[in-house]
Structure formats: C-alpha cells, structure tokens
Amino acid sequence: MSQFLKINSISELHDAFRCDKPSHPLISVINLSDIAIPHEVLNFKVGTPFYNITFKSKTAHPFRYGRGYFDFSEGFLIGLSPNQIFEIDETSEIGDLEGWSLFFHPDLIRGYNILEKISEYGFFSYEVNEALHMSEKEKKTLNDIVFKIKEEYESNLDEFSQDVLVSNIELLFNYIRRFYSRQFITRKKQNTSIVSSFNKLLKDYFEDGKSVVNGLPKVHYFAEQLHLSDSYLSDLLKKETGKNTQDLIHFFVIERAKNNLVNSNKSVSEIAFDLGFEYPQYFSRLFKNKTGQTPKEYRDN
C-alpha cells in the first residue's frame, strides 16, 4: 500500500529530493539532472501546497501521475495545482532525468491579478496523457523564461523582485497556454473524433432516459466516458466549437426544451423534470438566461 508524504515547505521539498538548500522560501526551480529519487520515498503518494510546472526532456522510467502511467521518453510538460497528488514508484540516480521543475507557493502571487485568473490555466488539471509535447523552439522559449525566474530569485532581493518573478511566471503560463492551443490544432483529426463522441454521448444521455434517473449530466460524466480530464475536455471543446463542456450541455438542453415546448402539451414542470432539473424554477431561470424569454413566453410566441 502506498504511503503518503506531505511536503509543507520549499525547504522540505529540497530535503526530500536531496537538493541544496533553497534560495527563496516561496519558489524554487529544481534541475532534474541534479536530483536522485531515493528508496525512502518509493511508493509514496506526495502532496504539496505548491503550484508546479515540470518539464522532462529525458526519463529513465514511465511516470505515474493521475490515473496511470505514461512513457514520456521524448519529453513532456505537465502542471500540478496545490494538494494535487503524484506518486513516486521508481527510484533514479543523479543524471537519470533531464529537465526542470518549477514550484511556487500561492502566497508568492497573492495580491496579484494572476491569482484571480489562475483557474483559466486549465493545464493544471490535465491528466498525464494530456501533457504538452513541444518543438525545440518552444522548449527553448520556456527554458529561457525559467532560467530568468531562477536567476531573479537567486539574485539579491529588492523591492521589485517579487513583481519580476510574478511577471515571468505569468509569461510562462501564457506561453504554455499558447503551445497547448497549437497542440489542439495539430491534433485536429483526433479532436474532431472526440467532439463527435461527446455529441453522441450527450444525445444518448437524454434518449436513454438517464436525465430522468440521474438528473442533468455533469461535465465529469463526459470526461470520464472519453478518458479525459474535465479541464482538458472543456478546453478541447472550446477550441473546436467555441463553447466549453458546460456551455454545450446547456445549449443542448435548451434546444431540446424548445422542441418539447412547441411539440408537446406537457407542462413546463414536466418538461423540466424530463430534462433532469430537480427544480422547475432553475429550468425556467436557465431558459430565460439563454433565450431572453421564460418557457411559457416561448411557447405562447
């Protein structure tokens, strides 16, 4: 059975991976070629309070993260949000790994706009099979930014240090988001298949009466069926259709509601229950929000 290792500070993080003492209490860039993964942390599930971006250009073993293993021998980039769990089930010696890992505490960006919009960076919730694969030019762009971050916090700190650090972190995030957008485009054929599968799942959910039994479908239901994370599915659908998963669910429900209002004599409450709404008032509120009319006004008109 896996044990749990809770790492609470940058110092504890450096101790766990046998790194030199950190230069800053809230942020660290670890050179992966300088670390060894000791037997003491083998089969540990690890949780930290940090945001983390890791780029591996070389790995000796498959890596376990989220729901399974993935062989990233050609390199990959993944993100972790605070308290997200990763598992260590292989040891490594110094030099087995190549790349870098950026860790920073939310306190570093508290009071800055980036903290308010960090939920927009969906890659912190992606699964391992949704990792970012980059061109050499893209890798160099990120490597240069991370080098600047490391150089900044290792310099003598002054009144501008935190502003510079946060600005470079935000720049890093925006480039990662841009490169993911490119990856969505280059995987157009695969993504189109996912969109088709999503549309079929959505239609079947209502055709099979699951809405009556289970209520309105949740984003996680479709992500699980398609073997994707909630965030990756929403970002993929947004890129392909202009609407995220929740928007597409609502659009389908409203269109189905319109058909039922016009083509049946069922009451508004009956239609709401058939669609999976627990409370007809919520259905009416959503319908008016999306159409500008109440269900009764739509039927009458």
Residue 73 has pLDDT above 80, yes or no: no
Strands 51-58 and 98-104 turn out to be antiparallel
More confident call, 189 vs 22 = 22
Query: pTM for this one?
Result: 0.76
**Is the confidence at residue 64, as pLDDT, over 80?**
no
Mean pLDDT of the 220-240 span: 94
Give the residue with greater pLDDT, 125 vs 141.
141
Q: Residue 53: which H helix or E strand, with range?
A: strand 51-58
Q: Across residues 214-234, what is the average pLDDT? A: 94
Provide the token pair at 4: 């749990």
Instruction: Quickly count: other Cβ atoms within 10 Å of residue 113's Cβ.
Output: 10
For residue 142, the model assigns a pLDDT of: 96
Burial class (CB in 10 A: 0-12, 13-18, 19+), 47: middle
Position 1 scores a pLDDT of 53
Helices 245-263 and 280-291, axial angle in degrees (round to 10): 100
Unique residue bearing structure tokens 């790994």: 97
Q: How confident is the model at residue 70 (pLDDT cuts 50, 70, 90)?
A: very low
* pLDDT (mean) for 177-185: 91
- Do 226 and 266 form a contact (C-beta atoms < 8 A)? no
Q: Which residues pair with residue 80 across a beta bridge?
A: 52
Region for 95 from its dihedrals, namely left if φ exceeds 0, alpha if ψ lies in -120 to 50, beta otherwise: left
